[in-house]
Amino acid sequence: MTEFDNELQQWLAGGDLLAQPFPAADDWIAGFDPDRQAVVLKAGPFKRLYLRPQQFSKRFYHQLYPLTIENWSYRRQLQLFDNFCCIDLLLDLRFQATLAYVQKHEELLANINQHIRQTYADLLDEIVNRELQHLSDGVWVQNGLTNIEKRIAAGVCELLTLQQIQAQAQCKITASFADFPSVEPGQHNVYLHVLKKTYEINEQKQIETERQQRLLEQQQILEKQRRLEHLQELTRVEIQEQALESEKKRRLLEEQEDLLALQLAIEKRIHAQQISHDAQLKEMLLDSELRIQEQHQGKQRLAEIRQFNEQLAHEAKMEAMKIRAQIQRREKALIDTESDSLPNT
């Protein structure tokens, strides 16, 4: 079963294909692979990045990106002791990106070596500068430059190795003296002369540095004093402006308070007038209702009197009719009695 089949089985089983173990730093230093290539497999939404296995057949959904071994030559020159000594540094660096590195920078895969150069050029400068600044003490003249060369090479390899970039570095530093062109540091006693001159130069530089430092400190004190005075003036002006603004706001609040009091007084007067007006309207409405009620009651009483009079008239009429009827009955009875009392003829 190939590496691809193993990884496919791992993916189908739910494994993390990106969780690749990082090789040790020693393996990175000695593990360059001239045939290393990155394979990008893209089929629909599925995409993965892996190293090209030995048994590999390129398909239409594969893209290959060579991870070449890059040679990087770095050179620096440095003048010491008022050009009495010239330091020439040559750093031969070889590096190669690993799968772990390109997985983190997949979008830069086509130009991965150029990206590494641009990204770590400044850090390489820092490593070299950090070591070269120790040369001014002159101790290296007696001990040689081998330890410094090893530290620079190791520092550069460590920098790239920690970033998962395999690297090998070899540093060579040569020193030439203006008065002793054939002298090798650490092999001849010329260092006594160099140290003497170094101490003299360093002493002069130290005196000048202290003078410049004192001058700089005085200038900084004056600048701080000037800034403090300027800040105090700005603070005073700001306090005055705040006081004026506060007074303006106070007056504005007083005016608003007076306007509000006047508005409340007007609203109270209007409210009192409205209450009085409403009371008058209610009183007029009550008077009107009372008059209407009295008129209605008067009409009702008149109607009741009229009805009572009509009833009395009707009762009187009926009583008169009864009396007439009684009179008529009595008159008829008398007539009948008189007729019965007369003699028959």
**pLDDT computed for residue 15 by the predictor:** 39
Report the distance separating Cα 74 and Cα 129, nearest Å. Answer: 13
Q: What mean pLDDT comes out for the span 198-202?
A: 66
Among the listed ranges 75-89, 197-211, 265-279, which one has the minimum average pLDDT value? Answer: 197-211
- Do residues 4 and 39 make contact, with C-beta atoms less than 8 angstroms apart? no
pLDDT digits (tens, 9 = 90+) for 254-299: 888 888 888 888 888 888 888 888 888 888 888 888 888 888 888 8
pLDDT band, very low/low/confident/very high, at 63 (cuts 50, 70, 90): confident
Report the distance separating Cα 299 and Cα 293, nearest Å. Answer: 10
How far, rounded to the nearest angstrom, does the alpha carbon of residue 105 sit from its chain's CA centroid? 27
Among the listed ranges 4-8, 198-202, 242-246, which one has the minimum average pLDDT value? Answer: 4-8
Q: What mean pLDDT comes out for the span 70-99?
A: 85
Q: What mean pLDDT comes out for the span 61-75?
A: 86
Closest CA to 93 of 112, 66, 116, 109: 116
pLDDT digits (tens, 9 = 90+) for 303-321: 888 888 888 888 888 888 8
Give the burial string for 19-31 (b: 16+ CB within 10 Å, else e): eeeeeeeeebbee
pLDDT band, very low/low/confident/very high, at 9 (cuts 50, 70, 90): very low
Among the listed ranges 127-141, 154-168, 273-287, which one has the minimum average pLDDT value? Answer: 127-141
The alpha helices in the chain, defined as continuous H runs, are 3-12, 25-30, 99-104, 112-132, 140-143, 146-162, 191-341
Joined tokens for residue 342 = 């007369």
The residue that leads in pLDDT, 322 or 29, is 322
**pLDDT computed for residue 181 by the predictor:** 52
Q: What is the pTM of this model?
A: 0.45
Percent of the chain with pLDDT over 70: 81
Closest CA to 198 of 211, 187, 215, 185: 185
Give the burial string for 308-342 (b: 16+ CB within 10 Å, else e): eeeeeeeeeeeeeeeeeeeeeeeeeeeeeeeeeee
CA distances from 34 to 30, 58, 97, 104, 161 (A): 12, 19, 11, 21, 18
pLDDT band, very low/low/confident/very high, at 172 (cuts 50, 70, 90): very high
Question: Tokens 């019965």 sit at which residue?
Answer: 340
Joined tokens for residue 297 = 């009651």
pLDDT band, very low/low/confident/very high, at 195 (cuts 50, 70, 90): low
Among the listed ranges 16-30, 74-88, 297-311, which one has the minimum average pLDDT value? Answer: 16-30
CA dihedral over 274, 277, 283, 284, signed as positive or negative: negative
- Do residues 164 and 31 make contact, with C-beta atoms less than 8 angstroms apart? no
Residue 13 has pLDDT above 90, yes or no: no
Report the distance separating Cα 307 and Cα 320, nearest Å. Answer: 20
What length does the chain have?
345
Closest CA to 156 of 194, 192, 128: 128
Q: What mean pLDDT comes out for the span 190-217?
A: 73
**pLDDT computed for residue 92 by the predictor:** 92
Among the listed ranges 3-17, 147-161, 193-207, 220-234, which one has the minimum average pLDDT value? Answer: 3-17
Report the distance separating Cα 131 and Cα 2, nearest Å. Answer: 48
| Residue 40 three-state SS | strand
**DSSP at 88:** E
Beta partners for residue 165, in sequence order: 97
CA distances from 230 to 222, 223, 234 (A): 12, 10, 6
**pLDDT computed for residue 99 by the predictor:** 87
**pLDDT computed for residue 21 by the predictor:** 40
pLDDT digits (tens, 9 = 90+) for 88-125: 899 999 998 888 888 888 888 888 889 999 999 999 99
Mean pLDDT, the chain, whole residue set = 79
Among the listed ranges 51-65, 79-93, 100-114, 188-202, which one has the minimum average pLDDT value? Answer: 188-202
Report the distance separating Cα 172 and Cα 187, nearest Å. Answer: 17
**pLDDT computed for residue 241 by the predictor:** 87
Report the distance separating Cα 173 and Cα 132, nearest Å. Answer: 10
- Do residues 160 and 47 make contact, with C-beta atoms less than 8 angstroms apart? no
Residue 171 has pLDDT above 90, yes or no: yes
